[in-house]
Structure 1
Amino acid sequence: VWLVILTQGCSSETAELDISDNYPPVLLTKETSYIAGDNITLRFKANQNTRGVLVVKNALGSSLIEPVVKDSILEFQIPTSYSQKAGLSHWEFVTAKENPISGNLQIAPNTEKTTLIESYLGPRSIIAGNIDYSMFIIVPTDMFDNTFTNGTEVTVKHQFEDTISQNIIEIENLVAWTTIGASEKAGRLLVTASCNTTDSKELTSLVYPSNAIDFTISSKRDHQYADGNQIISFSSSVITDQFNNTISDGTLVTFIIADKAGNLLQTSGITINGIANAKLLHPVKEERWQITAYITGVAKSNTLTIDFKAAVKDYPVTFSDENRTLFVGPIKSFMNQNIPDGLEVQLLIYNSQNKLLETKITTSRNGMAKFELSPDFFANGHYNLKINSAGISKNITVDLK
């Protein structure tokens, strides 16, 4: 009898041990949705002989996690680098004997704590009108640098002069964006954004005047004589764009001058407060100028016609040293004063067959110009000389000795 009782007792204890030692692991944690930064622990019930690891995969990569065993409970603490990363995390409990158990964790961005905003604006300079614009891009993130979900609202404000505008946009594909169009008036455009009570930094876009439109020019001079000494000044009107904005300082305006012979002269100036100024010396002979100003490829002015009277009517030519030294002058200007120093005087020397031998150029000093015809270069004989100055030409035949 004792043997039977002992045998039955042993058989019952063995059956209970078999049941407790062979059941498969069971997931006890039912929660699958979390907020970034939450403490995430996965708990499994397993027999004491179960040995396994938890494989966690997300956008960062994969990790193996060892359990903390408490009686028959296995606890796996998800690393903070994984629990702080929003998105889908996949886990798999792997043992040596049982089939793996797997599941997913959905981690949402943490919108309850600090919101960070990165914002970008460009281009930072646009042209006045209804065509150009700056694009404003906003990337709100949580404190763990997770971008927010689609549909999250972002408030955009922009200010121009006395007007502040506000509109609400939504995040789509990680970013929120909008365009800020240029006004018809030049000035400074300020832009900012806010999300979850967090404000972005202030960004600035400059609205510059549009392309210039045609303008007018005028001239100013002290007298109308072509003395090659005085300065004539050219000025533009206030140059504006089509919206009446004064064009930007530093815009280059080129003044093109055509003379009677079709030669082109050029002077230029840059705009200050919309006005360009340029200067040029008077011509040295009677002349008519046609002046037109241009902003290259954009706008042009009216055409001015300016006449210059001859300042020099005539000049004498004398010789000395057996015609080897030639004097031009005194050259007198419009009030019978000596012409200012620096007037160009040209001498062309031809032989008796009218072949050009040499061209000499000098400038006047105290109303006089001087040329030397050295015997080392010019042998004795007949020569034809032509003198050009102040638009007056003289032809002289001389015998050099």
Structure 2
Amino acid sequence: MKEPPIGVNISIDTLVDGTIEAGKDFAVAVPKGKHVSVVTSWGSYFLPIISNSEESHVVIIPSSINRQAGRMTIKFFDGTPDCEIEIKPGLAVEPLETYVGEKSIVADGGEDWAMLTVIPQDEFFNLTKSGTGVDFKMVRPNGKLYAQSISTNYGVAFSKIFSERKVGKTIIAVNTNGIAAKEKELLEIAGPPVDFKIEAIGIYPYADSRQYFQMESSEILDRFGNQVANGTLVQFSVSDANGSSRILNAYTISGKAILNINNPSNEGRLQVQASIGDYAKSNIVGYDFRRHIQKMDANFEGKYIVVGPVIGRFGQYATDGTEVVLEDLETGFTLTKYVKKGYARFSTEGMNTKSYALQITCGGFVKTLKSENNE
């Protein structure tokens, strides 16, 4: 066979065991007056003939049609047997295609896991040959360094990453034959919390409905001692002495939940318990609140019912804004006013001032006003 024209990398005579690397062009010599076609996984091609001598011609197989790894068939149409050529993938190029999923796992001592997947490809996006070695290293949240070598199978290399017992980030580095991938991260998070404790801080033990105290949880951990994530919802169930109950929400910061709770408006025992879904709950704590108001008068003065002076536990005027509730015991109608400078005033407009039964409540102190015919 004559030498192919300048610019052609190799000739068919120099193919090694009938193989060629993807993206390499080469030439085929054919007798004068004959034609060739090339069949690849992309399709079939009739190629132009370049005159080389009076006896033979050269057909250039360009790199543009042999970039995909696989099998190429050259047909000569002169009785010469077809030539089968295997196009092999080249070496991996940067960056390596690397995937980690899931993005986060529970640090539960190996029950949860994520998959690291590496897909080395050459410059024409062919999967590299099976058995391509892939090395990866990991730094786990506990500071330990792990290294492993795996080989591709059907173009893919993969390995399971099992959880450990400490929360944090696992940093992953991957390379093959000096070709590197982007750094990957796997987040290892705390598991379901275990039971915890709560306690009150700064209690003013009087039912004035104005002061507040803090409920603070202990550090909330999972079964391996990992602190739960910031923003974990903690629900506080509060039961007041009057039988009412409420659910108040708080969120963890640095493993603790802190909640401000207003003092009750009625004397008695207030109970609190916290929970996190169906996973964990706290102890039940109870605190006794004494009546805040020691003395309160109420009288009709012109067109008003004047309540006051409203005297607190230590002989002081009740704080401005202290709630005073007037209830008509016959109709159930209620009206709320607030103490200002020791007094609260209710208008009697529209009220039957000749026949009435009224109950006035402030800070657990109850005062009743009744007309003579209702006594």
Match of 1:393 in 2: 366
CA shift, 1:249, in A, is 1.7
CA shift, 1:278, in A, is 0.8
Does residue 364 of structure 1 match 2:339? yes
Of 34, 45, 61, the match for 1:63: 45
Q: Secondary structure at the match of 2:64?
A: helix
Match of 2:24 in 1: 38
Match of 1:206 in 2: 187
Specify every segment of 5 or more residues in structure 2 that has no aligned partner in the other structure, as ranges: 1-10
Match of 2:348 in 1: 373
Does residue 342 of structure 1 match 2:321? yes
TM-score, structure 2 normalization = 0.88
Query: Which structure 1 residue ranges, 4+ long, deviate > 6 Å from structure 2?
Result: none
Of 70, 84, 89, the match for 1:87: 70
What are the within-5 Å matches in structure 2 for residues 100-249 of structure 1? 101-111=81-91, 117-129=96-108, 130-160=110-140, 161-249=142-230
CA shift, 1:242, in A, is 0.8
Does residue 250 of structure 1 match 2:223? no
In structure 2, distance between residues paired with 1:263 and 1:40: 89
The Cα RMSD (Å) is 2.4
Of 254, 274, 278, the match for 1:297: 278
- Conserved in 2, the CA contact under 8 Å of 1:122 and 1:134? yes
In structure 1, distance between residues paired with 2:51 and 2:353: 127
- Conserved in 2, the CA contact under 8 Å of 1:227 and 1:333? no
User: AA paired with 2:23?
Assistant: G
CA shift, 1:30, in A, is 7.9
TM-score, structure 1 normalization = 0.82
Does residue 309 of structure 1 match 2:290? yes
Q: Which moved more, 1:389-398 or 1:215-224?
A: 389-398
Aligned length: 358
Q: CA offsets, 1:307-331, max 9 Å, x none?
A: 101111331111122xx32111111
CA shift, 1:29, in A, is 4.6
When residues 122 and 114 of structure 1 are mapped into structure 2, their CA distance, relative to the original with a 3 A threshold, is closer
When residues 357 and 197 of structure 1 are mapped into structure 2, their CA distance, relative to the original with a 3 A threshold, is closer
**Rg larger for:** 1
Q: Calculate percent identity across the aligned residue pairs.
A: 26
Specify every segment of 5 or more residues in structure 1 that has no aligned partner in the other structure, as ranges: 1-26
Does residue 77 of structure 1 match 2:63? no
